[in-house]
Amino acid sequence: MKIAILGSGLMGAKLGRLWAACGHDVTFAYSRSTAKLERLASEAGGAHASVSEAVVGAEAILLSVHWSRIDDVLDQAGDMSGQVVLNCCVPLNESNTELVLGTTTSGAEELARLRPEARWVACFNTSPSEAFDPVFARKDREPRPHLMVYGDDDGAKQVAGTLIADIGYAPLECGPLRTARFAEPFAMVTAELAYGQPGGTALTYRFDKLR
């Protein structure tokens, strides 16, 4: 699959590298350092490009920037009409301490409002990036950890489900994009568990229904 990474930081660099290792055609974009993008591309066996170049023909786009950079990235990305966009962003303030949107809307819904022609799906926002490598390394072990996925476009969810499974998670269907109102605050719980509580940062989770 041709994948554009818009935001090649903790999330984008790690996910892009792992997807490239699975054989996907990954293009890294949006960093303040072209040298960093070149290094990521060379290490992963992928490419690097500007945002506007990376989105052309991409079958999946990962949006992985700080909330304060959203307008800038979207300006460069254009309308992404008909393209599947995986959003892992949490709508946080500059100091990453408070959600700037919530309860009656969400970051995910705001993005869909800003780019209504794109096929939005939210995932990876409820996992610390430190978990991706260990989850990938344990891909053969069952049961796999869950990863929440939600959105209004079933086809986009299927694409996301494939990419989630490639990392080593079991996609957990969590309903429509509106779920973001509750999942984005939950992302803050996963961040507290990973970074604020003892036991390390490679946090995973599973939800099970008892029979």
Ligand X SMILES: NC(=O)c1ccc[n+]([C@@H]2O[C@H](COP(=O)([O-])OP(=O)(O)OC[C@H]3O[C@@H](n4cnc5c(N)ncnc54)[C@H](OP(=O)(O)O)[C@@H]3O)[C@@H](O)[C@H]2O)c1
The site for ligand X (CB under 6 A) is made up of: 7-12, 30-33, 36, 64-67, 69, 88-90, 92, 125, 128-129, 187
Which residues, including other chains, have CB under 8 Å from residue 142's CB and lie 6 or more apart? none
Minimum distance from residue 48 beta carbon to ligand X (Å): 11
Residue whose CB is less far from ligand X, 8 or 83: 8
Residue whose CB is less far from ligand X, 33 or 81: 33
Residues in the chain: 211
Residue whose CB is less far from ligand X, 9 or 142: 9
Minimum distance from residue 55 beta carbon to ligand X (Å): 15
The Cα–Cα gap between 186 and 99 comes to: 11
Task: Report how far apart the first and last C-alpha atoms of the chain are (Å, whole number).
Answer: 38
Minimum distance from residue 209 beta carbon to ligand X (Å): 25
Which residue is nearest to ligand X, using beta carbons?
Answer: 9
CA angle (204 as vertex; 200, 205 as ends), nearest 5: 135
* Dihedral angle of Cα 149, 151, 152, 158, to the nearest 10 degrees: -40
Both structure tokens of 191? 């961040």
Residue whose CB is less far from ligand X, 163 or 187: 187
Residue whose CB is less far from ligand X, 83 or 125: 125
Minimum distance from residue 210 beta carbon to ligand X (Å): 29
Residue whose CB is less far from ligand X, 2 or 66: 66
Minimum distance from residue 142 beta carbon to ligand X (Å): 25
Minimum distance from residue 147 beta carbon to ligand X (Å): 11
- A 10 A CB-CB count for 141 gives 10
Burial string for 18-38 (b: 16+ CB within 10 Å, else e) reads bbbeeebbbbbbbbeeeeebe
The Cα–Cα gap between 15 and 45 comes to: 13
Residue 41 contacts residue 22 (beta carbons within 8 Å):
no
Between strands 146-150 and 119-123, the pairing is antiparallel
